[in-house]
Amino acid sequence: MSYKVIKIEELKLKCSIPLDGMYKLSPLVWEENGSYQMLVRAVNTSEDPTQKVARVYAGSSKNGLTFKMSDGPVIAPGTSSLDKDGCEDPTVVCVPKGYLVYYTGWNQTKMEGQLLMAGGKSLDTLALKGVAISSKKPYLNPKEATVTQLKNGKWNLLFEYADEKRSKLGLALSAKPEGPWKIKGEFMATVKDNWDSYHLSPGPVLTDANGQSVLFYNGADDQAHWRIGWVKLDEKGAITGRSKQPLITPPKGKAGETDIAFAASAVLVGKHIWLYYTTADKSTFRAVIEISAD
């Protein structure tokens, strides 16, 4: 089995000021009680990188394409040194007592990111709980968490980290969705002379209509041209198959725009997969994906 994109649609985010004028990226979408919920990273536009401070807004939708966004952020930079300069790339885990949200906290002074966890009974009561994975060699600047439960009840956390001037894809394990997490090491390697030959980062994991678990991942060459691919996973979370070509390649952008397509989340809707992703670090889309025979 393989995966094929049959339709791409740009998301419509109904925003008030100041979100309306910000870049929106990393759309984290999930289905809950008959509707679709979203967390999205928002960044104010500025030529000065120190002024581009990320925060996280929430949204809801009936059709998974048009979202009514919150007036203010649900996760914002605080007084802690952990996330005083930005809150990036949220991932949600729904638990009986509400929500766990993994996100990256950025410290501009140290040029350092930590993988943090917030929790709350509702999205508007989220509060920082602590560090999930700290920035320590060789796992520097951990981010882009993907959290899933295996059939044996254990929990996997896939994350991106910086090592040897590359983005690598790591794996951590825990008995509980809130951790503590034990890092096991690098989860997946790059492919020489391929589109994903230099950088890797995890996207979402889901089980498709055939019961196959799949990870949509982000890969890039040494020029940081990011594309989206997929790997099949067995019951223990090990890789059993991998796409040879990108599933999604971004359209040619304007001068100065980044050449990036980056997967953030996925939802199973009937026999199709809705894959949510970002291009050029500012535009958000939904790809409708069908499962096809090889």
Tell me the pLDDT tens digit for each residue of 7-25: 999 999 999 999 999 999 9
Residues pairing with 267 in the sheet: 274
Cβ contact 237:253 at 8 Å: no
> By residue range, what is the domain housing residue 194?
2-292
Pick from 285, 191, 213: nearest CA to 3: 213
Q: pLDDT tens, 145-163?
A: 999 999 889 999 999 999 9
The number of distinct structural domains making up the chain is: 1
pLDDT of residue 83: 95
At 60-87, the pLDDT tens digits run 999 999 999 999 999 999 888 999 999 9
The predicted structure's pLDDT at residue 79 = 86
pLDDT at 48 over 80: no
Q: Which amino acid is at 280?
A: A
- Do the beta carbons of residue 127 and residue 119 sit within 8 Å? yes
- Of the chain, the percentage scoring pLDDT greater than 70 comes to 99
d(CA 265, CA 148): 12
Per-residue DSSP letter, 15: -
> What CATH code is carried by the domain that includes residue 278?
2.115.10.20
pLDDT in tens, 249-294: 999 878 778 899 999 999 999 999 999 999 998 899 999 999 887 6
C-alpha span between 276 and 278 (Å, rounded): 7
Q: Token pair of 199, please?
A: 């950088």
Is the model's pLDDT at 106 over the cut of 80?
yes
Rounded to an integer, the average pLDDT of 205-214 is 93
Encoding tokens for residue 9?
A: 């649609």
